[in-house]
Amino acid sequence: MTPPQAVGSPTPSSPRADDPAPTAARPEPSRAQIRRWRRHLAEERMEARTYRSLAERRTGEERDVLLRLAEAERRHEEYWLALLGDRALPAPRPRLSARLSAWLAQMFGTIFILAMAQRSEQHTAYDADDDATAQMAADEHIHGEVVRGLTARSRETLAGTFRAAVFGANDGLVSNLALILGVAATGMGAQYVLASGLAGLLAGALSMAAGEWVSVTSQRELLDASIPDPEAHQAVPSLDVDANELALVFRARGETPEEADAHAARVFQQVATPARTDSGVIAVRAALGEGAACARGADEQIGTPMRAAASSFCFFALGALLPLAPYLVGLTGMTAVLVAAGLVGLALLGTGGVVGVLSGQAPMPRAIRQLLIGYGAAAVTSLLGHLFGVVVG
């Protein structure tokens, strides 16, 4: 989190590193500088509003952290206001891309807002702007780490179901588009293409759901095998201290022989002290249960089998339904093929962009990557359909 001295307001007697130099000491700014300053001002205001809005949805420590971030952005806003003077009016608006990103984040929920904020902070323009202070640039990078911490829990909770949803949607989009293009390329009539697409939708959705259920169930069973025995601590007081087999537990978990012996000795000392019996039991439980927290964390990331299966089924079906849409409304021939390809292309751009946003990365490269992969698979299938085409009467 931003250090207190970097978050609180400066006092008149202690000038800050990000206070602008006196106006008289600065040359007249160019029009390009003014435009850039106004853009920075608008974006700082937008970020401050975003953090305040998020703070209203939070309580406790998270709320305090978000309000402090908003205060830091307000301080940056004051810096640009001081540089601009009267040129700050009329109030500038953020770039269209920034406004669109903010609107999408508001539409899709808190984790999207935080993910967009993280990317904005980490890819600050202040690094390459001579008019911004080094402290302001440092503030933005630290803010990015603060926001990363706030989003970590949400990303872990979302990861399992989100993976199944994205994988299901993309598989449905690509596989059914490829199937439809391949079948259409053989010269089959629209009714056969539609029947093939519906069969592919149902078969694929059921297969994806079953696969996800088996996959997640297997992962959870493997994790359960790694969770320490809850009753193992009861055997510790009866162990032979000289043989010290407790140290083997710690060595098996990655400690060096010296560290394991010292760790076991501390546990035995607590168990052997009558006045500390309760604390000794707690220490043993904590020592033998160190792996449980990791198992629970990984369990959160994997999710539940039913949730993963349902998510995969639904999103595969939605994705597979999209290339069928033109046939369902009565389109045929090349028109239906082009409309299906266009709809799937837009959906692939959307899913790729969403993955980029949630991972705190630039959405456009991920969107383009998703589009190229999907169209590449569909093109290969269509080519095979042309090579082995038959006309069904």
What is the model's pLDDT at position 391?
42
Q: Is 316 found in the same domain as 278?
A: no
Position 293 in a domain:
no
Residue 144: which domain range? 4-155
Q: Is 148 found in the same domain as 60?
A: yes
What is the model's pLDDT at position 100?
66
Position 297 in a domain:
no
Residue 382 has pLDDT above 90, yes or no: no
Residue 343 has pLDDT above 90, yes or no: yes
Q: Is 58 found in the same domain as 195?
A: no
Spatial CA neighbour of 309 closest among 386, 192, 209, 391? 209
Q: Is 101 found in the same domain as 13?
A: yes
CA 329 to chain centre: 36
Q: Is 88 found in the same domain as 20?
A: yes
Residues 157/296, Cβ–Cβ less than 8 Å: no
| Terminal Cα distance for the chain, rounded | 70
What is the band of 182 on the pLDDT scale with cuts at 50, 70, 90? confident
What is the model's pLDDT at position 346?
93
Q: Is 100 found in the same domain as 34?
A: yes
Q: How many helices (H) and strands (E) does the chain have?
A: 15, 0
What is the band of 107 on the pLDDT scale with cuts at 50, 70, 90? low
Q: Is 313 found in the same domain as 270?
A: no
Residues 98/117, Cβ–Cβ less than 8 Å: no
Q: Is 150 found in the same domain as 162?
A: no
Greater confidence, 372 or 204?
Answer: 372
Query: Dihedrals φ, ψ of 87, to 5°?
Result: -70, -5
Position 296 in a domain:
no
Q: Is 331 found in the same domain as 205?
A: yes
What is the model's pLDDT at position 9?
38
Greater confidence, 55 or 392?
Answer: 55
For residues 45 and 77, what is the distance between their CA atoms, to the nearest angstrom?
6
Q: What is the DSSP letter of 189?
A: -
What is the model's pLDDT at position 257?
85
* pTM for the predicted model, two decimal places: 0.54
Reported as a single tens digit per residue, the pLDDT across 231-281 is 444 544 544 444 456 677 677 767 888 888 887 777 767 666 554 444 445
Q: How many domains does the chain have?
A: 3
